[in-house]
Amino acid sequence: MTVLEGQPQPVQRMSMGAGWRRAWRTGDWWRHLGLGVFLFFMFLPFIITIIISFKDIPQFDHYPFTVTFPLHPDNYLEAWRIVSRYILNSIITSGTSVVGMVILAAIAAWAFARYPFPGREIFFFGVLALLMVPGELTLIPAFLLVKDLGLLNTRWVLIAPYIAGGQVFAIFILRQFFQALSGEMFEAARIDGATELQVFRHIGIPLSQSILGVVAIMHVLSTWNDVIWPLVTLRSNELMTLTIGLYAFRTAWYTIWGPLMAGYVIASIPLIILFAFTSRLFVEGLSSGAIKM
């Protein structure tokens, strides 16, 4: 069969065995072996957690780190009964705050990048100056503010500060991206009669989906894993997020390792799902030129 010039050629997939044989011939086998050992030790804690999650107390006392039978999948049912409430609270808090943060930060970044107004650079550098203020320094003033507003022990005591706290970094990243976009298409849209809001909504946002996804993912990770602010502002067990909920779960089930480890496994699933569905978007955003590593 002749191969036509210019036509795409079929990709030859290399089997695992062929890859190892090639690595052995080229002398790179020690690199592959080192990476394999590193990968094993990286996943070892998670593997041990899964093994313990299927044990009862006598099995853990006698064989803590090896697989024992019979397995006890009912540990997951018991853990889900407790952890599901915390997961739902974290989803509501992080999901609501990321939507508000992205909308407000995108509008502000668009104004800094594409809408000239007096004192624009001064205001922008004032926003950047907030990046140098550590969160611990604003903890007490923020607590007194939400206390005066009557937001303590409510969902809004997390959502509102998370929206405000994520603005600075998001505005910085999005403004750099908006400035790098070609202005010709925006001018053409304005000549055709599009308003500034229409240009932003129908041209700017579609071209910025990847970087908006990066900002959203980073915000979700930071709010999902936050411990200090929920611990300070929440008292009701019904409103606890996953981080402090797991802490309370560990305190109550300290010696019952099976359900405790099952709760940790369940708690890690949402972020694994998030990474699985957004990893390509995250890589596209990082390679778009807005973030220089």
pLDDT at residue 17, as a whole number: 56
Residue pLDDT, tens place only, 165-208: 889 999 998 998 888 887 788 888 888 888 888 888 888 888 88
- Is there a contact between 203 and 158 (Cβ–Cβ < 8 Å)? no
Lowest mean pLDDT among 25-39, 86-100, 168-182, 213-227: 25-39
CA distance 162 to 46: 30
- Is there a contact between 80 and 267 (Cβ–Cβ < 8 Å)? no
- Domain ranges in the chain are 83-286
* Cβ within 8 Å of residue 196, ≥6 positions away: 115, 190
- Is there a contact between 170 and 151 (Cβ–Cβ < 8 Å)? no
> How many residues make up the chain in this entry?
293
Local confidence band at 272 (pLDDT 50, 70, 90 cut-offs): confident
The mean pLDDT of 148-159, rounded to a whole number, is 92
At 48, give phi and psi (nearest 5°).
Answer: -65, -40
- Is there a contact between 178 and 124 (Cβ–Cβ < 8 Å)? no
Look at the domain 83-286 and name its fold.
Answer: MetI-like fold (1.10.3720)
User: Could you tell me the pTM of the whole model?
Assistant: 0.79
Q: Look up residue 237 and give its two tokens.
A: 């067990």
pLDDT at residue 288, as a whole number: 60
